């Protein structure tokens, strides 16, 4: 089975998933530093309900967001879940009591993380589990076969439907393909962080979804005179233009911009309707890899 794309949706090769390309990431729903209860729980729950009302069917989360907070909010807001909703979670990190992010790719750690996600989301099988590797600065070049084998075994047990990877290199992706069917890759990518340009194109040829994290720059929000100029030309915000650029960059890109604000959520989803001209794309593509 080949992958398919129809404007606003994408189906990874070999799956029955029909994913709306504009999805939602839950990292901003917990409190500051992705830790503890949200500043406004009612608003967080409303954002999740609005995600579905806006037609999205793809939510990205992790048990270590909070920890436990994002998944519990998803369950409270959306369970029983819509039949077409795909919840993508990730394993490979845990949180220290000092709010640090610590890798845990041990078999026991990964197995425990999968079961924690099952419990907090209230499901019997996880739709997609991304193996998060590397470090906060980016991917490393270590082998991922051993931790991936743990997820393959959990998939064999029926606890995971599909497997993805996060924070990986093309070489690690190729390595993973030797033992597993990989349906998506989640790496850092945006207008000024384009290390994965060739990787995205190669994944598109194979029908693998590419999900940029920090699509708006993350802890260093995107700022550029060119971005502002294009935004003024089309009557949109710079953030909307940055998201529209991603959607036009490649048909296999799924956007998971996150927010804890219902108004900001609607602004993000409005970017789906923007169409950037060839000259506007050329301007944006000429942006340097340095945030201004």
Integer Cα distance of 10 and 228 in angstroms: 29
Catalytic residue, chosen from 65, 81, 189, 210, is 65
* Phi/psi at 74 (5° precision): -55, -45
H/E run at residue 37:
none
**Using CA atoms, how far apart are residues 189 and 196, in angstroms rounded to an integer?**
7
CA–CA gap between residue 261 and residue 184 (Å, rounded):
27
Token output for 138: 């980016």
Count of helix runs (H) and strand runs (E) in the chain: 10, 12
Burial class (CB in 10 A: 0-12, 13-18, 19+), 94: middle
Q: Which residues is 162 bridged to in the sheet?
A: 128
Alpha carbons 123 and 145: distance in angstroms, whole number: 27
Decide if 65 is catalytic: yes
Dump the DSSP string for 59-95.
Answer: EE--TTTBTTHHHHHHHHHHPSPPTT-EEEEEESEEE
Task: Give the tokens for residue 188.
Answer: 């850092």
Residue carrying the six token digits 């980016």: 138
d(CA 273, CA 276): 10
The rounded Cα 280 to chain-centroid distance in angstroms is 26
* Active-site residue list: 65
């Amino acid at each position: 089975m080949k992958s398919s794309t129809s404007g606003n949706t994408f189906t990874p090769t070999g799956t029955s998933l029909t994913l709306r390309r504009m999805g939602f990431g839950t990292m901003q729903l917990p409190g500051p530093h992705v830790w503890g209860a949200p500043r406004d729980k009612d608003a967080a729950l409303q954002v999740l309900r609005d995600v579905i009302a806006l037609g999205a069917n793809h939510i990205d989360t992790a048990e270590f967001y909070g920890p436990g907070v994002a998944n519990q909010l998803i369950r409270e807001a959306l369970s029983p879940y819509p039949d077409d909703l795909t919840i993508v979670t990730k394993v490979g990190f845990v949180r220290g009591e000092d709010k640090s992010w610590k890798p845990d790719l041990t078999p026991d750690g990964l197995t425990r993380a999968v079961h924690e996600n099952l419990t907090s989301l209230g499901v019997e099988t996880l739709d997609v589990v991304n193996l998060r590797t590397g470090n906060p600065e980016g991917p490393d070049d270590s082998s991922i076969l051993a931790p991936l084998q743990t997820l393959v075994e959990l998939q064999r047990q029926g606890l995971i439907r599909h497997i993805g990877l996060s924070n990986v290199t093309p070489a690690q992706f190729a390595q993973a393909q030797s033992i597993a069917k990989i349906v998506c890759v989640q790496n850092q990518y945006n207008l000024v962080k384009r290390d994965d340009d060739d990787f995205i194109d190669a994944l598109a040829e194979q029908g693998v979804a590419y999900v940029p994290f920090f699509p708006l720059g993350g802890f260093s929000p995107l700022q550029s005179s060119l971005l502002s100029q294009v935004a003024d030309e089309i009557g949109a915000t710079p953030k909307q233009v940055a998201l529209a650029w991603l959607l036009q960059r490649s048909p296999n890109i799924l956007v998971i911009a996150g927010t804890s604000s219902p108004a900001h959520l609607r602004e993000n989803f409005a970017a789906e309707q923007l169409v950037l001209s060839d000259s506007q794309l050329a301007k944006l593509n000429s942006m340097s890899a340095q945030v201004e």
